């Protein structure tokens, strides 16, 4: 039986310190046949030059496509463009500051096929900017299906790491394309799993298949205000979650129209709307508490926020710290020769 056609989409922006190793790890994938699309979103720090140099040295069997956007499109439009370029029926997501294990593509494709689901995520080893191991992202030690009940049960959880996703392209193609106006700070972690659950389902692989890097300028670090305190962090995360819920609502309304819904999708939509109301109430209470505590909302330029130091105690923590990990993964991405 022919193996599925797969495209690995590596997106990069201002990743010059990390992207060389990220590209080498993608090129070291042990799955065939594999199309690899390496794309820079208009960086000004030399990211594209590094991508081009490493790709030009590759002598392997993968099909490699190098793309550079003339201007910064932002994450949603960048992904949309690469999905349009991709020829694979299965799409693997990668970022220019993370390191994929050589077996990552193979294991994700196996899980998608065997479990017959629309999207697969995996565990990850967290690393810092110097690639020092911090521990495992998730303490969920057994692979499992992830149902709508889990996705609608709260905000983000460690089975929803967007950097770890692989999915059937229907997860993208059957829904309206997201734009920077819809998801200005990303949000695929919330959107793609929900779409997948509405289609054939989602599956989580407990094996860590990438080294997930956290550094001072990573999107995860800067997606909320990690510089002011717990209340400000909670408020911005809640606002981000509500925006992601709004996009989920658009997706389910679209799918109901497409499928002449008989009632099951309507029940999911009603549950989502109740969740949105509850989240909005919690967000309002957070805002009120901040005002009572003497804080006042303000907007600052992104450059100003990026220049402020991130508070260490507000960073995303590994659920299994390195000291408790039985078998630290170590190395860059196993098998890479510099």
Q: Is residue 50 part of a domain?
A: yes
Q: Is residue 16 part of a domain?
A: yes
Instruction: Read off the pLDDT band of 299 (50, 70, 90).
Output: confident
- The span from the CA of 254 to the CA of 273, in Å, is 15
Give the pair of three-digit tokens for residue 122: 């995996």
CA end-to-end distance (rounded Å), the chain: 35
Instruction: Read off the pLDDT band of 324 (50, 70, 90).
Output: low
Annotate 74-116 with DSSP letters as a single string: -HHHHHHHHHHH---SEEEEEETT-EE-TTHHHHHHHHHHHHT
Structural domains counted in the chain: 2
Residues 41 and 102 in one domain: yes
Range of the domain at 90: 6-222
Using CA of residue 91, residue 113, residue 154, residue 216, what is the dihedral sign? negative
pLDDT over 90, % of the chain = 70
Residue 334 DSSP SS3 = coil
Label residues 233-242 b or e (16+ Cβ within 10 Å = b). bbbbbbbbbb
For the cut 80, the answer to whether the pLDDT of residue 319 exceeds it is yes
Q: Which of 71-85, 180-194, 224-238, 291-305 has the highest mean pLDDT?
A: 71-85
**Choice among 48-57, 217-226, 322-331 with the minimum mean pLDDT:** 322-331
CATH code of 82's domain: 3.90.550.10
Q: Is residue 322 part of a domain?
A: no
Give the pair of three-digit tokens for residue 125: 């080893």
Phi-psi label, residue 3: left if phi above 0, alpha if psi -120 to 50, beta otherwise: beta
The pLDDT mean for the chain works out to 90
Residues 85 and 214 in one domain: yes
Instruction: Read off the pLDDT band of 334 (50, 70, 90).
Output: low
Closest among 170, 237, 164, 163 to 197, alpha carbons compared: 170
Phi-psi label, residue 304: left if phi above 0, alpha if psi -120 to 50, beta otherwise: alpha
Residues 243 and 101 in one domain: no
Task: Convert the pLDDT of each residue in 36-83 to its tens digit.
Answer: 999 999 999 999 999 999 999 999 999 999 999 999 999 899 999 999
């Amino acid at each position: 039986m022919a193996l599925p056609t797969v495209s690995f989409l590596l997106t990069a922006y201002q990743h010059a310190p990390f992207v060389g190793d990220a590209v080498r790890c993608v090129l070291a994938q042990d799955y065939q046949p594999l199309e690899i699309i390496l794309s820079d979103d208009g960086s000004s720090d030399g990211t594209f030059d590094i991508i081009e140099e490493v790709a030009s040295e590759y002598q392997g069997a993968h099909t490699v496509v190098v793309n550079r956007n003339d201007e910064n499109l932002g994450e949603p439009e960048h992904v949309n463009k690469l999905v349009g370029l991709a020829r694979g029926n299965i799409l693997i997501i990668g970022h220019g500051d993370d390191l994929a294990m050589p077996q990552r593509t193979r294991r994700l494709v196996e899980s998608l096929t065997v479990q017959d689901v629309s999207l697969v995520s995996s565990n990850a080893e967290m690393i810092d900017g110097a690639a020092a191991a911090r521990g495992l992202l998730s303490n969920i030690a057994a692979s499992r299906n992830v149902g709508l009940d889990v996705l609608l049960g709260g905000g983000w959880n460690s089975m929803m790491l967007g950097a770890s996703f692989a999915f059937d392209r229907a997860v993208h193609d059957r829904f309206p394309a997201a734009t920077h106006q819809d998801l200005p700070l990303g949000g695929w972690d919330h959107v793609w799993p929900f779409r997948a659950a509405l289609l054939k389902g989602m599956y989580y692989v407990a094996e860590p298949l990438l080294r997930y890097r956290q550094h001072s300028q990573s999107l995860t670090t800067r997606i909320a205000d990690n510089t002011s305190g717990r209340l400000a962090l909670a408020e911005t995360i809640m606002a981000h979650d509500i925006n992601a819920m709004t996009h989920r609502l658009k997706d389910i309304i679209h799918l109901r129209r497409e499928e002449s819904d008989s009632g099951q999708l309507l029940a999911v939509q009603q549950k989502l709307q109740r969740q949105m109301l509850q989240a909005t109430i919690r967000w309002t209470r957070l805002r009120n508490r901040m005002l009572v505590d003497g804080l006042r909302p303000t907007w600052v330029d992104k450059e100003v926020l990026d220049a402020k130091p991130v508070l260490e105690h507000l960073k995303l923590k590994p659920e299994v710290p390195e000291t408790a990990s039985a078998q630290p993964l170590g190395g860059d991405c196993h098998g890479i020769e510099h």
